[in-house]
């Protein structure tokens, strides 16, 4: 009986700790793709880690005012020298990386 209580308590703590780390960006969507990881893998080559590298004519994402919808469309279809990512990333990954790219914006 005591062991069982202790187990529940420990399991509860672990669950709460996991909830904290997953909850700071997208509550309830713990399985959503990690936009930052997608960005590091597919976008830094042209945009740089902070979005302002500007290689191959890439737009400075720290200055971009393009809203989420437009970003999702452009990441999917590409534009000029930008790669179309619709066959490379899933729609969920495209949305996650578009959302992440918005966080690079500097006011
Ligand atoms: C091969 C280089 C390259 C890669 C890789 C690349 N981009 Fe781009 N990106 C560009 C270029 C070039 C433009 C400017 C297109 C234009 O308007 O002529 C651009 C523009 C954009 C814009 C629009 C900015 C604006 O204000 O118009 C967004 C958003 C964007 N990129 C996000 C991403 C994301 C997210 C990824 C990774 C999934 C990515 N890009 C990967 C080259 C790249």
Q: For 104, how many CA atoms within 13 A lie in the half-sphere containing its CB?
A: 29
* Residue 15 alpha carbon to ligand 1 centre in Å: 38
CATH number (domain holding residue 75): 1.10.760.10
Q: What is the Cα–Cα distance from 105 to 60, expressed in whole angstroms? A: 9
* CB 64 near ligand 1, within 6 Å: yes
Whether residue 71 is contained in a domain is answered as yes
| Four-residue CA torsion sign, 33, 78, 48, 70 | negative
Instruction: Flag whether pLDDT at 1 surpasses 50.
Output: yes
pLDDT at 89 over 80: yes
- Does residue 61 fall inside a structural domain? yes
Place of tokens 């529940």: 8
pLDDT value of residue 32: 85
- pTM for the complete prediction? 0.79
Per the structure, how many domains does the chain have? 1
What pLDDT is attached to residue 96?
98
Place of tokens 């700071």: 24
pLDDT, tens only, 13-61: 445 444 444 444 545 555 789 999 999 999 999 999 999 999 999 999 9
Q: Which residue puts its alpha carbon closest to atom 36 of ligand 1?
A: 43
- Cα of 106 to ligand 1 centre, how many Å? 17
């Amino acid at each position: 009986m005591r062991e069982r209580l202790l187990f529940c308590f420990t399991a509860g703590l672990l669950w709460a700790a996991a909830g904290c780390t997953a909850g700071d960006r997208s509550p309830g969507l713990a399985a959503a793709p990690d936009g930052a990881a997608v960005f590091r893998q597919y976008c830094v080559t042209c945009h740089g880690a902070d979005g302002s590298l500007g290689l191959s004519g890439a737009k400075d994402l720290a200055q971009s005012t393009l809203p989420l919808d437009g970003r999702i469309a452009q990441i999917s279809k590409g534009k000029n020298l930008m790669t179309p990512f619709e066959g490379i990333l899933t729609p969920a990954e495209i949305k996650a990386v578009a959302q992440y790219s918005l966080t690079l914006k500097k006011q």
